[in-house]
Structure 1
C-alpha cells in the first residue's frame, strides 16, 4: 500500500548536515521507497500544497521538535500554532524526541494538543515521568538516537585505514555540553580532556579537541575516524530534568551577567540540589560510527544498553581517571585491540537491531496498525506533481519573506537560490556521483523563479515616462518596450518549468533530454532577465540624463541649440517658475496659461509648455 508521508525537520542546510542527522531524516524513504515522501523544514512557510494533501503519516523528527527551545518562548508558541491544523488531520502523527529531559513538559503539552501520537523515544522507561499527558492516550515505542545505514556502510568502511597504518593513537571531537545538562552530560567532554592531557604528558600522538571550532563534518569526520586507532567516549544523556526550560532560562540569565562562571557557581545560583535527582542515560551514535570505522574505543564505565562489555568490547575508563595508567598500558597490545574491534563490529554493526532498516520496519508496522483499512495513497505521478507545486510555492513564499526583511535585487535572488538548494532533498536521499549536478539544477530553477517573481507582471516595468521634449525620448521608449518583452519571455520560461514535473533522481540522469530541457529553460530565463537588467541600466542612465536636463535650463538650451538670447530667456523663465518672489511666479504662470491653450510650435515653446504643465 502506497502512503503519503510528510517528514518535518529543522536542518538549515541538508547538504552540509551531519551524516548521522541526515540519515535519520532520510532513512524512511531509503528503506520504504514505495511510498511518497515530502520533506519540509518546520520553520519554513507552510505551502497550500502541504495543507491540501491528504497525509497518511506525519513524522516530526528530533530536530523539528527542537523548536521548543526557541527563546523568547513566544517564538515556539508561534511555530506551534502554525501547525495546529495537524490536530484535525487523521494522519498518524509520529514524534522522535531525543534530549527529552530538557523541555519535555513543553513537548508533552504539544503532543497532547495533537491528539494521539506515536511516541518513539530514546527513553521509553521514563515516558510516564517525561510525558504524563501524552502517555494517557498515546503509544510508546523505544528507539535509538542513531543506527547503521546499510547504504553508506561500505563508503564509511572505505575511509578506514588498516589499524597498523593509522597515525593517530587516540582521537576525538566533542563539544563540552552546556551546564543545563548537568554533570552527566559533561562526562564526554571531561573524559576527552582528561585523556588528552594524560597522553600528551606521555608524549603520545593524539588529536583530541573540545573546541567547537574544530568540529568536523561529513566525510571529513569519517576520514578522521579512519585514521584513529582509538577514540575516547562515554554514554550520552542528561542529569537535570527541566520540563519547561525554567532552569535553562535561569542559567542563560546568570551567565549573561557572569560570563566566566564555573559549573559550581552556576549550579549554586540556578539549580541547587537538582543535578542528579534524575539521570537519563543515552546510547550515542558516536559509538556506532567508531565501530563502523574500525576504531578501538576507550569508554567511561556505563551500561551501554547492556550490549557492550568492558575489556571484551572496549577499554573501560574510570570517571575520575584513576586507571589511566592501565588504559595506556592496554592500548599497547594491538592484537587484543583488533579482537575488541571485531567483537564490537559483530555485536553492533552486524546486529539487525542497530540497523535503520529495523527502525523503518517498526515505524511502518505502527502506521499500518493505526491505518489498517487506509485507502491507497496518491499515485506517484500525481504526488510528484504536488511536490513540484510545493517547491514552486515555497520559492515564492521565501522570496516574499526575504523581500519583507529588506533584501532586494541580486542579493535577494542569491539568498533565495541558496536557500532552496539547501532544502533540496532528493539527490541526498539517494546519493550518487551526480548529486551536485542535481543540486545545481534545483538552485538554477530557484534563481529563475525568484528573479521572475521580482519583475512586474503587467504594464511597463518602469515608472519613468519618456520626456517627449528631448531627442532621447524615442530611444527610451524603445528600451522600455524591449525590457518588458524580455521579462515577459523570462516569466514564460518559468511558467513552463512550473508546468513540468522535475524528474526524480533515478528516473532520469543529469544529461537526459528532460533534464536538459529544464536546465535550458532555467538558463534562458536567467539570460533574458540578465539582458533586461543590462538594458534597464541603460534606460536608467537616459532617464537620469532627462532629469538633469529638465532641471538645468542652460543645459536644455544648449541641447536644443537655441540662440544665445533664447537661452537666457529660457533660463529666466524656468528660474521665475520656481522663484520665491510671488510676483516672478505670477509672471511665469501668466505665460503658461497663455501657452496652455494649445501646444506651441517649436522646441522652445513645446519645452516651456511641457515643463509648465509638470
Structure 2
C-alpha cells in the first residue's frame, strides 16, 4: 500500500467566536474527510514558516479567510510568508469567496503563490471575465460556498406544521456597495416580517446585523421555523482595485452615494451570485424556502426545491401563503432534503475526496 497523502489547510481567523457554523465546517471538513493526515494552521497569529517547510505536505489548501488577508498589508505579508515556505512539490488549491472585492489583488496573489487549482463559487459563464484566461495558469472548478457535513445530515427536524415560528430570516448590515443585491437582502426580510404580522403569525427576522446567530444557533432557529426567506449571495458591483474596502461607507446606503470610478456596476443578468450556506442548511433542516428566483449554483430548482418569488417581490405574500399549506410545504421540503442532502451529492466527504483525487492524481 502506498503512502497516504498529507495536507495543510491555511486559514486566517481573528474574528468572532464561535465561528459561523459553515465557516468552521469549510475549514475543518478537510481534516475530517481528506484521505490522509491533515494539519490546520491559523496564519492570523505568529508562526514559524520553517515549520511549514518541514511538514512537507502533498497538498496545501488556502481557505477563503487566508485569501482575505489581501485586504491588509499585514495580512498579505503573513499569507506570503506561509506560501513561500510551502515546498515546491506540493499541489496548491485556493478557495476564495467575495471575489468581487479587491479582485486585482486576488488575481495577483493566485499567480504569486502558484496555485494549481482555483475553487470558485462563480458560475462558469463569468470565469473568463473575472479571471482572464490569458492570465490564469491554474485550472478552475466550481465550488459551493458550503457543503453538507455528517452532523448536518442528521439535523432534519420534524413536521413543519408543529413548528412555532412562521418565518425566519437574518441579514447583516447590507452595504451600499452590494448594489441591487444588497437592497434585496434587506427588503426580502422586511416583507416577510410584514406578511407574518398582517396574518397574526410569529416571525423571527432581523436585517440590521443585530441578533446575530453563530454556531448551532442558526440551525436551531431553522428547525423551529416553518419557512425561511432569502436571496442568492453576491454583489451587483465588482471592485478590481479594492477602493470599496478603503472607503468609510455607511452600510445603510446613503442617498446620493456613488461607487468609485474603478468599480464595475453589473446588470442583473451579469451579477455575481451563488447559493449561500444558509440555503443548504435550510434544506438539511427540511425548512420550506421562499426565495427570490435565481440559479442557486445549479443546486436548487425553482418550484421543485423552493417556492420562487419575482425579483420585485410583488408575489412574496402569495409565495409565503404556500407555507401555510402543510401538504405542499412538507412535500417540497422533503423533496429538497432527499435530492440534495440524503443523496450525498453535496456532502463535504464527497467533494473533498474528489478534489484530492483531481489534484493528486
Q: Same fold (TM over 0.5)?
A: yes
Equivalent residue, structure 1, for 2:347: 355
1:220 aligns with 2:194: no
The separation in 1 between residues aligned to 2:277 and 2:116, in whole angstroms, is: 25
Query: Structure 1 residues 111, 86: CA separation in 2 closer, same or farther (over 3 Å shift)?
Result: farther
SS of the equivalent of 1:331 reads helix
The separation in 2 between residues aligned to 1:238 and 1:16, in whole angstroms, is: 26
Instruction: Verify the 8 A CA contact 1:168 1:207 in the aligned structure 2.
Output: yes
Higher helix share: 1
Q: Cα distance, 1:152 vs. partner?
A: 3.8
Equivalent residue, structure 1, for 2:36: 35
1:119 aligns with 2:121: no
Query: Structure 1 residues 58, 14: CA separation in 2 closer, same or farther (over 3 Å shift)?
Result: farther
Equivalent residue, structure 1, for 2:256: 265
SS of the equivalent of 1:270 reads coil
Mapping 1:530-609, distance limit 5 Å? none
1:69 aligns with 2:71: yes
Instruction: Verify the 8 A CA contact 2:290 2:308 in the aligned structure 1.
Output: yes
Query: Structure 1 residues 176, 213: CA separation in 2 closer, same or farther (over 3 Å shift)?
Result: closer
Instruction: Verify the 8 A CA contact 1:173 1:209 in the aligned structure 2.
Output: yes
Q: Cα distance, 1:86 vs. partner?
A: 4.2
Render the CA deviation track for 1:545-572: whole Å, top value 9, x for unaligned: xxxxxxxxxxxxxxxxxxxxxxxxxxxx
Equivalent residue, structure 2, for 1:285: 277
Instruction: Verify the 8 A CA contact 2:225 2:287 in the aligned structure 1.
Output: yes
SS of the equivalent of 1:319 reads coil
SS of the equivalent of 2:39 reads strand
The separation in 1 between residues aligned to 2:321 and 2:25, in whole angstroms, is: 37
Query: Structure 1 residues 190, 12: CA separation in 2 closer, same or farther (over 3 Å shift)?
Result: same
Q: Cα distance, 1:134 vs. partner?
A: 8.2
Render the CA deviation track for 1:355-409: whole Å, top value 9, x for unaligned: 112211222112322xxxxxxxxxxxxxxxxxxxxxxxxxxxxxxxxxxxxxxxx
Instruction: Verify the 8 A CA contact 2:166 2:203 in the aligned structure 1.
Output: yes
Q: Cα distance, 1:210 vs. partner?
A: 1.4
SS of the equivalent of 1:94 reads strand
Equivalent residue, structure 2, for 1:197: 194
SS of the equivalent of 1:16 reads coil
User: Number of matched residues?
Assistant: 355
Equivalent residue, structure 2, for 1:45: 46
TM-score w.r.t. the length of structure 1 is: 0.54
Q: Cα distance, 1:108 vs. partner?
A: 0.9
CA RMSD of aligned residues (A): 2.5
1:183 aligns with 2:184: no
Query: Structure 1 residues 194, 182: CA separation in 2 closer, same or farther (over 3 Å shift)?
Result: same
- Structure having greater relative contact order (Cα 8 Å, sep ≥ 6): 2
The separation in 1 between residues aligned to 2:67 and 2:134, in whole angstroms, is: 15
Structure 1 unpaired stretches of 5+? 370-614
Higher strand share: 2
Query: Structure 1 residues 205, 117: CA separation in 2 closer, same or farther (over 3 Å shift)?
Result: same
Query: Structure 1 residues 95, 199: CA separation in 2 closer, same or farther (over 3 Å shift)?
Result: same
Instruction: Verify the 8 A CA contact 1:124 1:141 in the aligned structure 2.
Output: no
Q: Cα distance, 1:261 vs. partner?
A: 6.8
Q: Cα distance, 1:54 vs. partner?
A: 1.4
Q: Cα distance, 1:118 vs. partner?
A: 1.2
The separation in 2 between residues aligned to 1:46 and 1:89, in whole angstroms, is: 20
Q: Cα distance, 1:88 vs. partner?
A: 5.8
SS of the equivalent of 1:194 reads helix
1:312 aligns with 2:304: yes
Equivalent residue, structure 1, for 2:6: 4
Instruction: Verify the 8 A CA contact 1:185 1:236 in the aligned structure 2.
Output: no
SS of the equivalent of 2:238 reads coil
Q: State which drifts further: 97-106 or 120-129.
A: 120-129
Query: Structure 1 residues 196, 271: CA separation in 2 closer, same or farther (over 3 Å shift)?
Result: farther
The separation in 1 between residues aligned to 2:283 and 2:96, in whole angstroms, is: 25
Choose which of 280, 288, 301 in structure 2 pairs with 1:296: 288
1:336 aligns with 2:328: yes
Instruction: Verify the 8 A CA contact 2:104 2:241 in the aligned structure 1.
Output: yes
Instruction: Verify the 8 A CA contact 1:299 1:314 in the aligned structure 2.
Output: yes
TM-score w.r.t. the length of structure 2 is: 0.89
Regions of 4+ moved over 4 Å: none
Q: Cα distance, 1:307 vs. partner?
A: 4.2
1:327 aligns with 2:326: no
1:150 aligns with 2:188: no
The separation in 1 between residues aligned to 2:10 and 2:197, in whole angstroms, is: 44
SS of the equivalent of 1:58 reads strand
The separation in 2 between residues aligned to 1:290 and 1:205, in whole angstroms, is: 18
The separation in 1 between residues aligned to 2:309 and 2:347, in whole angstroms, is: 28
The separation in 2 between residues aligned to 1:134 and 1:87, in whole angstroms, is: 26
The separation in 2 between residues aligned to 1:317 and 1:264, in whole angstroms, is: 27
Structure 2 unpaired stretches of 5+? none
